[in-house]
């Protein structure tokens, strides 16, 4: 990897990547360790999409697909942090990145085209093909040779994940296509021996591809080896019969006949496609802007031997485009009949075509006179099958309403292929291949935008183009409409189009161009539903989060879970809803906008408010229950109706798993509650997330949710609620080391606690304020706060508060060098926490004891307490505490002379701290560097 590297600012080689083999990276000509397999998978996505912002959701889908871990966003952060350490070893936490950049919606790997072997391959391939078309055969051969030489085994070798798998397939196809192009050049230059040598590996490795067989037969014939050319046809036929039960298509059959009769023109011609003018053909014209879909096209092409391929997907996802494109590629295999029939399953102003009427159209298309077509549908089906018997026919049955509509149209001949498109999953159809089509990958969506727009604006405004395709939800129909508007409005910039699509209230109106409209496409699916399913769909438009679970959807709709499951599954079947994981559902972004609009148009204000209230009651009751498991000694409870539906949790692990799953919904739910005037829900939902955010170390989200809930508490005039949220803000700011902000929040909360007369709350604020003063080095003020808190807690009989103060005093005594007093205070606190089963606080005190014994030089006791602390913190899901204790154990091991063990602890602590974006990461990094 010594060629095509990026030059740094100082003139030295920079970052270079190899993708056309085992994935590798070099930085300044030195190999970069890319880390564990899933981290390599994430790097691969960024490298393939270099200089494009790849969204976090796209990275999750690309690395894990449907097999998601509990916290995929955290996994992305962890792997990005690992890559930054490898790619930018000297970068500090707050300094800007050079190679791997963060954006509000994701990440971008900056890499010049010449630093990527994939980009160089694509450039050489395109230049070689242009040279070939221009008649410059020698230059074409050299360029194509250079392109193929860049491969070093299988592309993206050893990289897991669905993105790598699909790209590996696509790149393998590209490699073969370029090799075939090169053979054509060799034939044209009269280098038949070289052409034979190049074609044989292709026919051996891809025996069902007809082009390399035709090239091999042509080269052998022109080299004077007629019998070997015919033997090559026999081998191709044997492979096709064994795999597909079919003879080779017209390309090879026609070439064989020309070889048999020694056609003189064959010595000068390249293999030709057969004349299909006599075939019954009415396939639509393929689009000029077909982009991507390599994996899907390969699956449709592979279905040629199975007889039936059903393609389903939501409105506008490109089902017909894929079917027509694949039909064009398959056309040479089906010379007799190639027909397209629109079944109008979801057509505006038209009923679906009955099977009998569809059979009449098909029979007329293959030349059966109208007076010979029977009246009965069964008789028509029998005649249709007889007409296709022994014929190679390709049918595209477009926009089927259900399996019953298409079943009578299927030919009985194994030599035919039927491609069916439908918005409904045709589970009742015995299809050889079923393909559910998803939206486009980000890069392909941008490429489609550029192709349809037709000028350089998209390339010149890459970031704005990315925001446009995201506003379109990566839906091909929406991207095409947006691009068409851009194409016909030369005065518009891409940024102007982005701004027009920014507001959800007008986005669907903007995605309309003459007779094409995203909203109309959606409405045809929506209006095919009955009343209960329509209502479930539009109520889902009220849900503000990214994914909704079955229990929450049931609460939203006001039905039991069994009924909700039936309704949701039916919406999945008609492609109005996705189910990425069992029991978890999501609306496509544009469908969510459409559902919300239909909800506002159809449901009255009272109905919408009632549905939102049911949803918020469910979440508040469930989050409150989870908080009860995580913090059983808390002093406040949420106010929810006793009969509100809720999830229940057996233990901390179950509560944290649910909270992790729902994490992305909390801030949107609080904001939605505040907008709807449901201020009690807003502030209490924020408050009840304390234990979750503290356990997981989600400090930024803690601040966001509390800032969203705080205005609601103030609007209610609830000073105690306001105080509690201010305390939460102070805790989060403290952990982020923004101590001045924390002190400000605590002092405001303290005044409110005293004003309301809530003594236990006052003690809690004093405790936290004292901790912050300790971190600021203001020990006198710290001691004063802790002593006041201890006095108030004992007077109020608040043993939980007393235990926390004792633990804090133990930390303070350690700072002051009073190590015996530190141990005594913390052991008292430990006894209290163990009595109450407060595992999280127990882990914190054990960590404090380990540090006290470390300061005393009692390393065995420090190690024992640290091990217990680590077990507690892992057991209760306290990731921030786990990193803290690993950091402590690293210091214990270093003091004992065990440098490798210390480094191991610090590396594990650093991985967690970086994943949480915790300020402690910088401290741990310095300790590691000092070993």
Task: Return the CATH number at 133.
Answer: 1.10.10.10
Domain's final residue, options 227, 252, 274: 274
Verify that 610 and 689 share a domain, yes or no: no
Please report whether residue 197 resides in a domain. Answer: no
What digits encode the pLDDT tens for the residues 529-588? 999 999 999 999 999 999 999 999 999 999 999 999 999 999 999 999 999 889 999 999
Residue that is written with structure tokens 């105690």 in the block: 720
Enter the tokens of residue 332: 């040479």
pLDDT band at 94 (very low <50, low <70, confident <90, very high): low
Which residues have CB under 8 Å from 99's CB, separation 6+?
A: 14, 15, 87, 88, 109, 110, 111
One domain for residues 37 and 177:
yes
Name the residue with higher pLDDT: 268 or 516: 516
Tens digits of per-residue pLDDT, 745-786?
999 999 999 999 999 899 999 999 999 998 898 988 998 998
Give yes or no for a contact between 833 and 803, defined as CB atoms under 8 angstroms apart: yes
In a domain, residue 698? The reply is yes
Alpha helices by DSSP H, 574-637: 589-602, 605-630
Residue 131 structure tokens: 């040279």
CB atoms within 10 A of CB 267: 10
Residue pair 744/760 in contact by the 8 Å Cβ criterion: no
Per DSSP, the three-state class of 54 is: strand
Weakest mean pLDDT among 315-319, 606-610, 621-625, 808-812: 808-812
At 274 the pLDDT is 33
Domain boundary among 245, 274, 303: 274
Q: What is the pLDDT of residues 201-211, one digit of tens each?
A: 999 988 888 88
Give yes or no: residues 389 and 303 share one domain: yes
Smallest Cα–Cα separation from 486: which of 447, 528, 509, 455? 455
Tell me, yes or no, whether 460 and 608 share the same domain.
no
What DSSP letter does each residue of 146-199 carry, written as one string? HHHHT--SSTTBT--SHHHHHHHHHHHHHHHHHHHHHHHHHHHTT-HHHHHHHH
Rounded Cα gap, residues 557 and 534, in angstroms = 11
Q: How confident is the model at residue 2 (pLDDT cuts 50, 70, 90)?
A: very low
What six digits make up the tokens of 74?
């955290």
Q: How much is the pLDDT for 275?
A: 35
Q: What is the C-alpha to C-alpha distance for residues 728 and 761, in angstroms, rounded to an integer? A: 12
Q: Does residue 772 sit in the same domain as residue 743?
A: yes
Q: Does residue 862 fall inside a structural domain? A: no
CATH code, domain carrying 757: 1.25.40.10
CA distance 673 to 643: 20
Q: Tens digits of per-residue pLDDT, 660-699?
A: 999 999 999 999 999 999 999 999 999 999 999 988 888 8
Q: What is the pLDDT of residue 858?
A: 93
The token pair at 503 is: 């507001």
Rg (CA), the chain: 34
Query: How many C-beta neighbours within 10 Å does residue 95 have?
Result: 9
Are 61 and 5 found together in one domain?
Answer: yes
Indicate if 339 and 480 belong to the same structural domain.
Answer: no
For residues 408 and 241, the model is more confident at 408
Residue 97: pLDDT band with limits 50, 70, 90 = low
Continuous H helices in 30-92:
37-48, 56-64, 72-87
Per-residue CA distances from 833 to 43, 479, 767 (Å):
44, 58, 17
Measured between alpha carbons, how far is 662 from 822 in angstroms, rounded to an integer?
Answer: 40
Q: How confident is the model at residue 92, as a pLDDT?
A: 61
Give pLDDT tens digits for 375-398. 888 888 888 888 887 778 899 999
Domain-terminating residue out of 826, 856, 886? 856
Model pTM? 0.64
Give phi and psi for 651, each to the nearest 5.
-160, 180
Residues of the chain with pLDDT > 70, as a percent, come to 96
Element of type H or E holding 774: helix 759-775
Residues 481 and 612 in one domain: no
In a domain, residue 482? The reply is yes
Same domain (yes/no): 591, 482: no
Domain assignment present for residue 902? The answer is: no
Same domain, 11 and 44: yes
Give the pLDDT confidence score for residue 792 in this predicted structure: 92
Mean pLDDT of the chain: 87
Residue 771 in any domain: the answer is: yes
Percent of the chain topping pLDDT 90: 48
Helix (H) or strand (E) holding 929: helix 920-929
* pLDDT tens-place string over residues 233-244: 999 999 888 877
pLDDT tens by residue, 840-895: 889 999 999 999 999 999 999 999 999 999 999 998 888 889 999 999 999 999 99
Residue 10 lies in a domain: yes
Asked whether residue 884 is assigned to any structural domain, the reply reads no
Q: How many domains does the chain have?
A: 6
pLDDT in tens, 694-736: 888 888 899 999 999 999 999 999 999 999 999 999 999 998 9
Please answer whether residues 789 and 764 qualify as being in contact, where contact means their C-beta atoms are separated by less than 8 angstroms. yes
CA distance 232 to 503: 62
Full residue range of the structural domain in which residue 236 is found: 205-274
d(CA 805, CA 137): 84
Strand segments, DSSP code E, in 604-748 are none
Which pLDDT does position 930 carry in this prediction? 83
With 0-12 CB in 10 A as exposed, 13-18 as middle and 19+ as buried, what is 869? buried
- For 330-347, the pLDDT digits (tens) are 887 787 888 999 998 887
Are both 135 and 14 inside the same structural domain? Answer: yes
Reply yes or no on whether the pLDDT at 95 is more than 90: no
> Pairing relation of β-strands 578-581 and 106-109?
unpaired
Question: Is residue 547 located within the same domain as residue 693?
Answer: no
Burial of 409 (0-12, 13-18, 19+ CB in 10 A): buried
């Amino acid at each position: 990897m010594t060629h095509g590297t990026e030059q740094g600012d100082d003139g030295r080689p920079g970052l270079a990547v190899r993708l056309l083999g085992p994935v590798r990276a070099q930085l300044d000509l030195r190999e970069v360790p890319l880390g564990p397999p899933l981290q390599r998978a994430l790097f691969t996505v960024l490298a393939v999409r270099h200089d494009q912002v790849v969204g976090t959701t796209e990275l999750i889908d690309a690395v894990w697909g449907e097999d998601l871990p509990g916290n995929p966003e955290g996994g992305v952060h962890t792997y990005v942090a690992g890559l930054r350490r490898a790619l930018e070893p000297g970068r500090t936490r707050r300094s800007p990145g050079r190679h791997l950049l963060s954006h509000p919606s994701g990440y971008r790997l900056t890499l010049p085209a010449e630093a990527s072997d994939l980009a160089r391959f694509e450039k050489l391939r395109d230049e070689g093909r242009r040279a070939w078309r221009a008649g410059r055969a020698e230059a074409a051969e050299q360029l194509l040779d250079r392109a193929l030489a860049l491969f070093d085994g299988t592309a993206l070798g050893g990289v897991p994940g669905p993105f790598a798998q699909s790209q590996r397939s696509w790149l393998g196809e590209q490699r073969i296509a370029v090799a075939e192009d090169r053979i054509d050049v060799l034939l044209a230059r009269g280098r038949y021996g070289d052409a034979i040598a190049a074609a044989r590996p292709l026919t051996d490795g891809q025996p069902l591809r007809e082009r390399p067989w035709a090239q091999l037969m042509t080269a052998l014939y022109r080299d004077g080896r007629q019998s070997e050319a015919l033997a090559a046809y026999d081998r191709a036929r044997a492979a096709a019969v064994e795999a597909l039960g079919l003879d080779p298509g017209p390309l090879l059959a026609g070439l064989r006949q020309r070889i048999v009769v020694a056609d003189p023109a064959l010595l000068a011609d390249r293999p030709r496609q057969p004349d299909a003018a006599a075939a019954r053909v009415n396939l639509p014209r393929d689009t000029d802007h077909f982009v991507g879909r390599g994996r899907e096209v390969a699956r449709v092409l592979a279905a040629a031997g199975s007889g039936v391929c059903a393609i389903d997907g939501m409105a506008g996802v490109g089902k017909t485009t894929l079917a027509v494109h694949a039909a064009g590629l398959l056309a040479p295999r089906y010379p007799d009949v190639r027909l397209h029939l629109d079944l109008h399953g979801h057509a505006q102003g038209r009923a679906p075509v009955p099977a009998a009427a569809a059979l009449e159209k098909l029979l007329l298309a293959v030349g059966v006179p109208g007076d010979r077509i029977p009246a009965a549908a069964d008789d028509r089906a029998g005649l249709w099958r007889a007409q296709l018997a022994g014929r190679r026919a390709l049918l595209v049955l477009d926009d089927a309403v259900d399996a019953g509509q298409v079943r009578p149209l299927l030919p009985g001949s194994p030599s035919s292929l039927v491609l069916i498109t439908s918005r409904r999953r045709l589970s009742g159809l015995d299809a050889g291949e079923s393909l559910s089509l998803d939206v486009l990958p980000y890069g392909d969506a941008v490429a489609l935008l550029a192709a349809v727009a037709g000028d350089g604006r998209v390339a010149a405004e890459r970031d704005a183009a990315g925001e446009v395709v995201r506003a379109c939800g990566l839906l091909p129909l929406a991207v095409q409409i947006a691009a068409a508007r851009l194409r016909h409005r030369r005065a518009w910039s891409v940024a102007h189009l982005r701004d027009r699509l920014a507001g959800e209230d007008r986005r669907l109106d903007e995605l309309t161009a003459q007779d094409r409209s995203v909203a109309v496409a959606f409405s045809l699916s929506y209006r095919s539903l009955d009343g209960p399913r329509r209502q479930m769909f539009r109520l889902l438009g009220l849900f503000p989060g990214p994914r909704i679970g079955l229990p929450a959807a049931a609460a939203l709709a006001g039905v039991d879970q069994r009924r909700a499951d039936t309704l949701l599954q039916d919406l999945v079947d008609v492609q109005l809803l996705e189910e990425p994981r069992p029991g978890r559902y999501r609306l496509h972004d544009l469908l969510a906008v459409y559902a919300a609009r239909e909800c506002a148009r159809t449901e009255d204000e009272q109905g919408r408010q009632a549905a939102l209230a049911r949803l918020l009651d469910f979440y508040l009751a469930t989050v409150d229950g989870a908080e009860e498991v995580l913090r059983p000694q808390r002093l406040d409870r949420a106010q929810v109706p006793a009969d509100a539906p809720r999830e229940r949790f057996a233990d901390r692990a179950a509560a944290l798993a649910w909270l992790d799953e729902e994490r992305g919904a909390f801030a949107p739910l609080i904001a939605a509650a505040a907008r709807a005037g449901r201020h009690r829900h807003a502030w209490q939902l924020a408050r009840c997330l304390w234990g979750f955010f503290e356990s997981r170390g989600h400090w930024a989200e803690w601040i966001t949710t509390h800032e969203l809930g705080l205005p609601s508490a103030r609007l209610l005039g609830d000073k105690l609620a306001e105080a509690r949220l201010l305390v939460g803000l102070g805790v989060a700011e403290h952990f982020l080391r923004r101590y001045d902000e924390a002190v400000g929040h605590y002092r405001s909360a303290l005044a409110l606690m005293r004003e309301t007369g809530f003594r236990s709350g006052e003690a809690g604020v004093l405790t936290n304020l004292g901790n912050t003063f300790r971190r600021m080095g203001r020990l006198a003020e710290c001691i004063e706060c802790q002593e006041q808190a201890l006095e108030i807690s004992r007077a109020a009989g608040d043993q939980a508060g007393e235990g926390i103060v004792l633990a804090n005093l133990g930390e303070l005594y350690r700072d002051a060098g009073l190590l015996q007093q530190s141990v005594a205070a913390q052991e008292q606190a430990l006894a209290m926490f163990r009595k109450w089963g407060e595992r999280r606080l127990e882990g914190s005190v054990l960590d404090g004891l380990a540090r006290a014994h470390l300061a005393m030089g009692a390393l065995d006791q420090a190690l024992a307490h640290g091990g217990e602390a680590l077990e507690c913190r892992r057991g209760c899901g306290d990731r921030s505490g786990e990193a803290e204790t690993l950091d402590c154990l690293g210091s214990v091991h270093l003091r004992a002379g065990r440098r490798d063990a210390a480094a191991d602890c610090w590396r594990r602590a650093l991985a967690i701290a970086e994943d949480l974006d915790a300020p402690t990461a910088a401290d741990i990094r310095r300790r590691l560097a000092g070993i």
